[in-house]
């Protein structure tokens, strides 16, 4: 299996060759200590975006504090780019000495507004620019998107999954961190929970779990016995109405044992109509404590439409 995960030790090489050569040229021309100021900002926002939420600063500070080339990296740079001893010695002793001014993470920011400013010797700015751009772009993008979903959900809970559709495992964990900053309620990402980022959430028993049993009712009874008070039950593995009826049967059985089921999850179909019907059927069965969660590829626009129609949904989940 190829090892493509980037470690802290790898980060000084998160760069391109021209930057190492540019640094060498500046050294040769006596500009080792020439200072410069680097502003990071967004040029313009699309018509469907009127703000961003700044995130990623903590990663940048840690990166700048720990920036150091290894002997192996220096040997590679010397061979690959023909660097002389003066330049290699400079990179060997490289340490960020500049200043960082930035908005606090979670601050709303707008186009043409500096969100982070680095003042340092130009060579230091050149060496650290790409990673800074990358991290701030990724985390600000995550935070801005999640904030819009949280806002659309109003006072209801919003869960961020991040594991299945993020652009890689590292991106998923960073998305969960952005969710913590922007007020999402829970995470389904185990790695983030282990890192004590965000609050843990059980999620829903998957379709293939249900399909592994002779029928849906058997599956519901099994899962209810073990984890019914913690998990949501997907009711659309076969037919949503049938799934809802089976859930109610099992929920009433669990009540006889002194236990209350957590909730159902709607993952397909007309979420508004299904949520209205589900709430009526659950209340009619005296299961008003059962929560209704909605999934189904939701974004802030779909959530807003559901909220505008006053859908009786308690929790929204984004992947």
Residues 6+ apart with CB under 8 A from 48: none
pLDDT at 1 over 50: no
Q: What is the pLDDT of residue 187?
A: 61
Q: What is the pLDDT of residue 95?
A: 95
**Residues facing 233 on adjacent strands:** 205, 264
What Å distances lie between residue 237 and 205, 222, 242, 245, 273, CA to CA?
Answer: 11, 16, 10, 13, 18
| 296 confidence band (pLDDT: 50, 70, 90) | confident
Q: Average pLDDT in the 295-313 region?
A: 93
Q: What is the pLDDT of residue 206?
A: 84
For the segment 100-159, what is each residue's pLDDT rounded down to a tens digit?
999 999 999 999 999 999 999 999 999 999 999 999 999 999 999 999 999 999 888 888
| 90 confidence band (pLDDT: 50, 70, 90) | very high
pLDDT at 9 over 80: yes
For the segment 192-238, what is each residue's pLDDT rounded down to a tens digit?
555 555 555 567 778 999 999 999 999 999 999 888 788 899 999 99
Rg value, the chain, Cα: 26
- Alpha-carbon distance 237 to 11, whole Å? 44
Q: What is the pLDDT of residue 318?
A: 77
Q: What is the pLDDT of residue 129?
A: 94
Q: What is the pLDDT of residue 116?
A: 96
List the chain domain ranges.
8-136, 147-318
How does strand 204-205 pair with strand 232-234?
parallel
Q: What is the pLDDT of residue 5?
A: 60
Q: By C-alpha distance, which of 146, 46, 171, 42 is closest to 103?
A: 42
Q: Average pLDDT in the 63-91 region?
A: 94
Q: What is the pLDDT of residue 196?
A: 53
Contact 244, 215 (CB under 8 A): no
Q: Which CATH superfamily is domain 8-136 in?
A: nicotinate phosphoribosyltransferase (3.20.140.10)
Q: Average pLDDT in the 182-196 region?
A: 61
Q: What is the pLDDT of residue 2?
A: 53
Q: Could you name the CATH architecture of 147-318?
A: Alpha-Beta Barrel (3.20)
Q: Average pLDDT in the 40-50 region?
A: 91
User: What secondary structure, in 3-state letters, does the chain show?
Assistant: CCCCCCCHHHHHHCCCHHHHHHHHHHHHCCCCCCEEEEEECCCCCCCCCCCEECCCHHHHHHHHHHCCCCHHHHHHHHHHHCCCHHHHHHHHCCCCCCEEEECCCCCEECCCCCCEEEEEEHHHHHHHHHHHHHHHHHHHHHHHHHHHHHHHCCCCEEEECCCCCCCCHHHHHHHHHHHHHHCCCEECCHHHHHCCCCCECCCEECHHHHHCCCCHHHHHHHHHHHHCCCCEEECCCCCHHHHHHHHHHHHHHHHHCCCCCCEEEECCCCHHHHHHHHHHHHHHCCCCCCEEEECCCCCHHHHHHHHHCCCCCCEEEEC
Q: What is the pLDDT of residue 317?
A: 86
Q: Average pLDDT in the 249-274 region?
A: 94
Contact 122, 36 (CB under 8 A): yes
The percent of residues above 90 in pLDDT, for the chain, comes to: 70
Q: By C-alpha distance, which of 138, 135, 134, 128 is closest to 64?
A: 128
Q: Average pLDDT in the 48-62 region?
A: 93
pTM of the model: 0.84
Q: What is the pLDDT of residue 178?
A: 85
Q: What is the pLDDT of residue 171?
A: 76
- Alpha-carbon distance 176 to 173, whole Å? 5
Q: Classify residue 5 as left (phi > 0), alpha (psi -120 to 50) or beta.
A: beta
């Amino acid at each position: 299996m190829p090892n493509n995960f980037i470690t802290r030790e790898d980060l000084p090489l998160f760069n391109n060759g021209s930057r190492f050569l540019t640094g060498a040229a500046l050294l040769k021309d006596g500009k080792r200590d020439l200072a410069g100021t680097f502003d990071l900002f967004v040029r313009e926002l699309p018509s469907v975006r009127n703000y961003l939420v700044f995130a990623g600063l903590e990663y940048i500070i840690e990166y700048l504090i720990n920036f150091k080339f290894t002997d192996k990296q220096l040997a590679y740079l010397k061979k690959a780019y023909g660097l002389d001893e003066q330049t290699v010695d400079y990179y060997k002793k490289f340490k960020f000495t500049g200043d960082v001014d930035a908005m606090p993470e979670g601050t709303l920011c707008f186009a043409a507004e500096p969100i982070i400013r680095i003042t340092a010797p130009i060579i230091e700015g050149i060496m650290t620019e790409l990673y800074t751009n990358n991290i701030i772009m990724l985390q600000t993008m995550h935070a801005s998107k999640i904030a819009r979903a949280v806002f659309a959900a109003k006072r209801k809970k919003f869960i961020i999954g991040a594991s299945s559709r993020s652009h890689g495992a590292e991106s998923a964990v960073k998305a969960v961190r952005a969710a913590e900053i922007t007020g999402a309620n829970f995470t389904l990402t185990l790695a983030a929970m282990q890192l004590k980022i965000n609050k843990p959430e059980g999620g829903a028993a998957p379709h293939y779990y249900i399909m592994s049993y002779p029928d849906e009712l058997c599956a519901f009874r099994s899962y209810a016995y073990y984890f019914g008070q913690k998990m949501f039950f997907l009711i659309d593995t076969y037919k949503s109405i049938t799934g809802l009826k089976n859930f109610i049967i099992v929920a009433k059985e669990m009540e006889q044992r002194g236990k209350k089921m957590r909730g159902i999850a709607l993952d397909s179909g007309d979420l508004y109509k299904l949520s209205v019907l589900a709430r009526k059927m659950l209340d009619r069965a005296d299961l008003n404590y059962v929560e209704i969660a909605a999934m189904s590829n939701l974004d802030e626009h779909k959530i807003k439409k559901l909220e505008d129609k006053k859908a009786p949904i308690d929790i929204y989940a984004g992947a």
